[in-house]
Amino acid sequence: MERNWKKISGFDFKEILFEEYNHIAKITINRERYRNAFTPLTTWEMSQAFAYCRECADIRVVILTGAGDKAFCSGGDMHVKGRGGYVGNDGVPRLNVLDVQMQIRRLPKPVIAMVNGYAIGGGHVLHVMCDLTIASENAIFGQTGPKVGSFDAGFGASYLARMVGQKKAREIWFLCKQYTAHEAEQMGMVNKVVPFEQLEDTCVDWAEIMMERSPLALRMIKAGLNAELDGQAGIQELAGDATMLYYTMDEAQEGGKAFLEKRKPDFDKYPVFP
């Protein structure tokens, strides 16, 4: 189905497209010429887009994808890989895709990876970070790090292992083989494989189903699933959400009111559940 994706205004992005349709934001890495490899500018722009998605209450689900029919993302742009990171116009080496990874993980809304071709290297890690992955039949998955002088021993290893198991994760990283969409689905890192022509429709369908569910329930489930792996940082995320919920209750309002009214708070009137 042809959809009227509208450009989200207020940004002058050069390396990504940032669009909205029916409360769904779509972030497209727009470097088709380089199989959508990311530079520090690409990841900086992605960071701003994800920050907007977090703040904007109108956005309920985010789709991350790559331009064209060849690649979702082929990882860091090898042309600008320097000593210490990927070097942007300011000459500073950075690994700022790691910030984007955290933003995806911390976004209190579902993020769908719409994998339309190669998801390789740092691009593979990006799909791993997303809550759901829907892939077209032509999609190819794999890590290249140990072949090209890199590795992601963070979420790119440990979270991947949670998905596919330790043996498979080690195979993926040690051998740097490429896997078809169906193999990736069998391994548990892809939710659904569809023909290329149905890829966007399926992602939008899934997004629209999720938008019929309680946003707060999805937010809490995501935080809980994260907390299992994220230790103290995961507990902080879940605890922050619990505090947010507590602040919506009369019991918490009473504490603040009592302070401002210079009286003792009366918490006795609020129910204590077993």
Q: How far apart are CA 238 and CA 249, in angstroms?
A: 17
Of these, 17, 21, 34, 108, which contacts ligand LTTK3YTO (CB under 6 A)? 34
Q: Is 234 in the site for ligand LTTK3YTO (CB under 6 A)?
A: no
The answer to whether 181 touches 148, Cβ cutoff 8 Å, is no
Least distance in angstroms from the C-beta of 212 to ligand LTTK3YTO: 36
Question: Is 154 one of the annotated binding-site residues?
Answer: no
E-strand stretches of 201-254: none
Distance of CA 11 to the CA centre of its chain: 20
- Following DSSP, what letter does each residue of 138-149 receive, concatenated? T-EEE--HHHHT
Q: Near ligand LTTK3YTO by CB under 6 A, which window of 13-21, 29-37, 48-56, 265-273?
A: 29-37
Q: Which is nearer to ligand LTTK3YTO, 145 or 234 (CB)?
A: 145
Centre a 10 Å sphere on the Cβ of residue 8 and count the other Cβ atoms it contains: 19
Question: Is 52 one of the annotated binding-site residues?
Answer: no
Question: Is 75 one of the annotated binding-site residues?
Answer: no
Q: What residues between 100 and 119 interact with ligand LTTK3YTO by CB under 6 A?
A: 118
Q: Mark residues 130-159: x for contact with ligand LTTK3YTO by CB under 6 A, - for none.
A: --------------xx--x-x-x-------
Q: Near ligand LTTK3YTO by CB under 6 A, which window of 10-18, 32-40, 51-59, 127-135?
A: 32-40
Of these, 97, 111, 193, 223, which contacts ligand LTTK3YTO (CB under 6 A)? 97
Written as six digits, the tokens of 33 are 């010429």
Written as six digits, the tokens of 219 are 């937010």
| Residue found under tokens 């470097």 | 31
| Residue found under tokens 């210490």 | 84
Half-sphere exposure of residue 196, counting CA atoms within 13 Å on the CB side?
Answer: 12
Q: Which is nearer to ligand LTTK3YTO, 150 or 191 (CB)?
A: 150
The answer to whether 169 touches 161, Cβ cutoff 8 Å, is yes
| Residue found under tokens 């193999």 | 183
Least distance in angstroms from the C-beta of 77 to ligand LTTK3YTO: 4
Q: Which is nearer to ligand LTTK3YTO, 76 or 110 (CB)?
A: 76
Terminal-residue alpha carbon distance, the chain: 50
Q: Near ligand LTTK3YTO by CB under 6 A, which window of 74-82, 158-166, 201-209, 225-233?
A: 74-82
Q: How far apart are CA 62 and CA 54, in angstroms?
A: 10
Cα maximum dimension of the chain:
67
Distance of CA 254 to the CA centre of its chain: 37
Of these, 66, 88, 121, 234, which contacts ligand LTTK3YTO (CB under 6 A)? 121
Q: Which residues bind ligand LTTK3YTO (CB under 6 A)?
A: 34-35, 37, 70-71, 74-79, 86, 95, 97-98, 118, 120-122, 144-145, 148, 150, 152
Residue numbering of the annotated binding site for hydrogencarbonate: 143-145
Residue numbering of the annotated binding site: 35, 86, 118-122, 143-145, 150, 247, 262
